[in-house]
């Protein structure tokens, strides 16, 4: 009485394809964002708690590690967002042709880069 399980096909059985690589990236960024949501919840709690707890949280976020984490999470967020929109388009029945699949692939590689730069520009400039 076992459910059919999907094996890990990518490195051993599949030739590298941008589409499958991006699909795995969608999962990886999803996991990373789930981990990041712990810090997000913690930050909300720290703002409500104030005092020492907020000071410690703020010190962590403002530290080099904190800033790098925030930057990586923002990249992961924008990628997961763009590729998520592509997933919704697939669910609606669009974008399955090979040409469209590749075009979409390059789009979800480029768009998060642009969005990340736009999001961080004000932070860097100030």
Partner 1 sequence: MANTPSLSDGTALRDENVLRRVRQFGSARDGSREWQLQRKSALALIPLGLYFVASMLWLASSDQLTAAQWLSSPLPALLTILFVIALFAHAVVGLRSVLLDYVHTRSLLIAAALLVRAAAILLAGASVLAVLKLFLAR
From the list 12-20, 48-56, 95-103, 105-113, the region that binds partner 1 by CB under 8 A is: 48-56
Q: Is 88 helix (H, G, I), strand (E, B) or coil?
A: helix
Subset of residues 75 to 114 that bind partner 1, contact rule: CB under 8 A:
77, 81, 84-85, 87-88, 91
Nearest to 79 by CA among 46, 108, 54: 108
From the list 11-19, 27-35, 94-102, 103-111, the region that binds partner 1 by CB under 8 A is: 27-35
How far apart are CB 99 and partner 1 at their closest, in Å? 25
- Backbone φ and ψ for 7, nearest 5 degrees, come out as -75, 165
Alpha-carbon distances of 87 from 52, 54, 65, rounded to whole Å = 43, 38, 32
Alpha-carbon distances of 3 from 6, 24, 106, rounded to whole Å = 10, 22, 35
Binding site for partner 1 (CB under 8 A): 1, 3, 5-6, 8, 27, 30-31, 33-34, 37-38, 40-41, 44-45, 47-50, 54-55, 58, 61-62, 70, 74, 77, 81, 84-85, 87-88, 91, 119-120, 122-123
């Amino acid at each position: 009485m076992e459910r059919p399980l999907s094996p890990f096909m990518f490195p051993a059985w599949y030739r590298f394809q941008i589409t499958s690589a991006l699909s795995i990236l969608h999962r990886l960024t999803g996991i990373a964002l789930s981990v990041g949501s712990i810090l997000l919840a913690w930050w909300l709690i720290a703002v409500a708690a104030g005092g020492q707890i907020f000071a410690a949280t703020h010190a962590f976020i403002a530290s080099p590690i904190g800033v790098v984490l925030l930057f990586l999470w923002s990249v992961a967020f924008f990628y997961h967002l763009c590729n998520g929109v592509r997933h919704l388009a697939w669910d609606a029945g669009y974008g399955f042709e090979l040409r469209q699949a590749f075009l979409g692939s390059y789009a979800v590689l480029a768009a998060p880069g642009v969005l990340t730069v736009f999001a961080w520009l004000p932070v860097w400039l100030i």
